[in-house]
Structure 1
Amino acid sequence: MAYVFLALSSACSLTIAHLLKVTESQNLRTLNTLTVNYIVAAIFAFFVGFEGDFVSTFVNHSSILLFFCVVVGAFFIGNFVTYSKSVHTNGVGITIAAMRLSLLIPVLISIYWYAEYLSGLKIVGIIGVFGAMLLLIPKKNDIKIGSISASWLLILTFVLSGFADASLKIYEEEFSTNLNELTFMGLVFSGAFAIGLIINLFRKAPLITKKEAILGAIIGIPNLYSSIFLIYALGDISGSIAYPTVNVLNVLGGTFLGLLIWNDKVSTKQWIGIATAVIAITLLI
C-alpha cells in the first residue's frame, strides 16, 4: 500500500505542476491563484487534522510556532511563484528536476545541524546535483520573466524549494511532538495565505478574479495531499526508500507530462541532466 501512496503523492505533485502551467498559459496572476490555493488547503488541513488539545498546544508555543510557520509559509509561496514561472519558461520536466535536486539543501542541513552521517554515496550524490544543475540550466538568458532570466528561475526554484523542504526536517526534529503534520501544514498554509493576501492588497489591480479563485481552489487539494500521501507512505516504509522513489517519479513523470501535453523542448544536454538528477536524488537519501 505504501507504493500506492507514493504514486498518489507524485500524481498530486504533477497535477500541481500542470495546473500552474495552465495558470501561466492563460495569463492569470500566479500569486493570486496561489493565495486562494493556500487558504483552501489550510482550511482542509485544519478540518482533517484537528485535535482536541490544539488550542492549548498553540498557546503554549505560540510565539515560536507562529514565527516559524510564517517563515516556512514565505518559503512555500515564494517557491511556488518561482516554480510556476519556471514551469512556463523552462518546461515542466526540467523545472521539476531542479526542484527535486533541492533535496541537497535539507541533506546538508541534516548533516551540519543534526550531525547526520555523510556517506561516500551521499558525497557522490552532492557532486551529481551540481553536475545535473549545470546540465539542466538552459541557454535562455534572452528569455525573461520581468527582470529574471529563465536560467535564474531554475536556480531560485532549487534554493527556495530546498529551504522549504529543510523546514519540514526542522519541524520533524523540533515540533512534531507538539503538533501533528496536518495541523502544522495548516499553520504553514495560513502563513503563506496571509503573505499572499497582504501583497495583493497593496496592488492596484482587482484582488482575485473568478478564474483565479476557481483554479486556486482546485490546486489547494492536491497541494495538501501531495504531503499527506507521502506521510502515509512513510508510516509503512522508511524514508530512505520513500523519498528517492517519489522524487524519481516526479522527475520522470514531469518530463513526460511536459513532452506529451505541453510539447516542451528538451535538449540532449538536458536529457543527460535529467538522468543525472535521478541518479543524484537516489544517492542523496
Structure 2
Amino acid sequence: MIVLLLSILSSSAIYIAFKLFGKYKITTLNALIVNYFTAFILGLSLQDQLSIDELLETPQKDWFYGSMILGVMFILVFYLMVITTQKGGMSVVSVASKMSVAIPVLFVIAYYDEPLGLLKIIGILMALVSVYLVSVRRRDGLSIDMKFFIFPLLVFLGSGLIESSIKFLENTYVPDSEISLFSANTFLFACLTGSLVFGYKALSGRAKFNWKDILGGFLLGIPNYFSIYFFILALRIDGLDSSSIFIINNVSIVLLSTLLGIVCFKEKISPKNWIGIGIAILSILLITYVN
C-alpha cells in the first residue's frame, strides 16, 4: 500500500506544479518537454545495472513500441486538453480527464475477468459521482457548445486509453526489473514528440524557451516520473485488484489535489464540491473494505 500512497502523492505534486506554472507564467509545452527529458534521465539512472549494450537493445524489448505510442499519446492528449480548455473551460477538461477512470476500470474488469460484486459496483458509481462533483467548479454545472463536444470526448477517451495501455503493457510485457527502463522510454518519446511540436512553432516564430520553463520542467519531471513508476508498482499489489487500484488512485488524487488547492492556493469551493469530497472518502473506504 506504500507504493499506492507514493503514487497518489507524486500525482498530487504534479497538480501543485501546474498551479505554479500559471502563477509564474511558465510556458506549459516548454516545461513539459524539459519535464519529460528529466523523467527520462531519472528513469535511466534508477534502472539497475544498465549497460550501453543493454540500452542499445531497448528497441528489441516486447514493450518498446507500446511505450513509444504511449509517449506520443501523452503530448496528443495534452493538446486536446488545451483545446478543450479554450472551448469549454477548466471544469470541462477536468471532468473529461478525471471521469476517464471509468475506461481502465471497465477494461480490467472485462479483459482480466476481475470479480464484480454489488458493493464494488456501488463503490465505483460513488467514485464517479464524487469525481464529477469535485471537478465541477461552476455553480451552474458544465457548459460547452455541442459543436466542440468532440474535444472533451477525445480527452476522455485518450486519458482512459493511456491508463488502460499502461495496465496492459505492464501486466503483459514489463518485468519487475525493467519498470524504470519502460518508464524512461515512454518519457523519451513524449519528449521527442513535444520537441517536434516546439520545433514547428519555433520555425514560425511562435515559441521560445526561457529559464523559468527549464526550471519548472525540471521540478515537474521528478514527481511525474515517480507518478508512473509507483503507479505501475501499485498495480502489482497483492490483495487489491486493478480496478480498485484505478479507482482508489484516481479518486484520492482528485481529493488530495482539491484539499491542497484549498490550503495552498486559497481556492474557493462550493457545497456541491464538499459533498463530492465526502462521497469520495466513502467510495475509497467502501472499495478498500470490499477488497
Provide the rounded CA distance (Å) in 1 between the counterparts of 2:235 and 2:108: 18
How many residue pairs get aligned? The number is 271
Tell me the CA shift for residue 104 of structure 1: 2.3
Is the 1:70–1:188 Cα contact (8 Å) retained in structure 2?
yes
SS of alignment partner, residue 261 of structure 1? helix
Aligned to 1:187: 185
Identity over aligned residues, as a percent? 28
Residue type of the alignment partner of 2:265: W
Aligned pair in 2 of structure 1 residues 199, 56: CA closer, same or farther (>3 Å)?
A: closer
Tell me the CA shift for residue 257 of structure 1: 0.8
123-132 vs 76-85, which deviates more? 76-85
Scaled by the length of structure 1, what TM-score is found? 0.76
SS of alignment partner, residue 121 of structure 1? helix
Is the 1:201–1:207 Cα contact (8 Å) retained in structure 2?
no
Tell me the CA shift for residue 131 of structure 1: 3.1
Residue type of the alignment partner of 1:119: G
Tell me the CA shift for residue 278 of structure 1: 4.0
Residue-by-residue CA offset, 1:61-92 (whole Å, 9 max, x unaligned) = 4xx64431222113333455667897xx658x
Is the 1:58–1:65 Cα contact (8 Å) retained in structure 2?
no
Aligned to 1:223: 224
1:276 aligns with 2:270: no
Q: Structure 1 stretches of 5 or more lacking a match?
A: none
Provide the rounded CA distance (Å) in 2 between the counterparts of 1:245 and 1:112: 19
Aligned pair in 2 of structure 1 residues 229, 111: CA closer, same or farther (>3 Å)?
A: closer
SS of alignment partner, residue 75 of structure 1? helix
Aligned pair in 2 of structure 1 residues 198, 278: CA closer, same or farther (>3 Å)?
A: farther
Tell me the CA shift for residue 243 of structure 1: 5.8
Is the 1:251–1:278 Cα contact (8 Å) retained in structure 2?
no
247-256 vs 39-48, which deviates more? 247-256
231-240 vs 21-30, which deviates more? 231-240
* 1:77-96 to 2 correspondences below 5 Å: 77-79=75-77, 90=90, 95=94
Q: Structure 2 stretches of 5 or more lacking a match?
A: none
Aligned to 2:102: 104
Tell me the CA shift for residue 207 of structure 1: 3.4
Provide the rounded CA distance (Å) in 1 between the counterparts of 2:56 and 2:119: 44
Q: 1:25 aligns with which of 23, 26, 32?
A: 23
Aligned to 1:161: 159
Aligned pair in 2 of structure 1 residues 163, 231: CA closer, same or farther (>3 Å)?
A: closer
Scaled by the length of structure 2, what TM-score is found? 0.74
Cα root mean square deviation, aligned: 3.7
Aligned to 1:212: 213
Provide the rounded CA distance (Å) in 2 between the counterparts of 1:261 and 1:253: 12
Is the 2:63–2:169 Cα contact (8 Å) retained in structure 1?
no
Aligned to 1:198: 196
Q: 2:65 aligns with which of 64, 67, 72?
A: 67
Provide the rounded CA distance (Å) in 1 between the counterparts of 2:25 and 2:194: 18
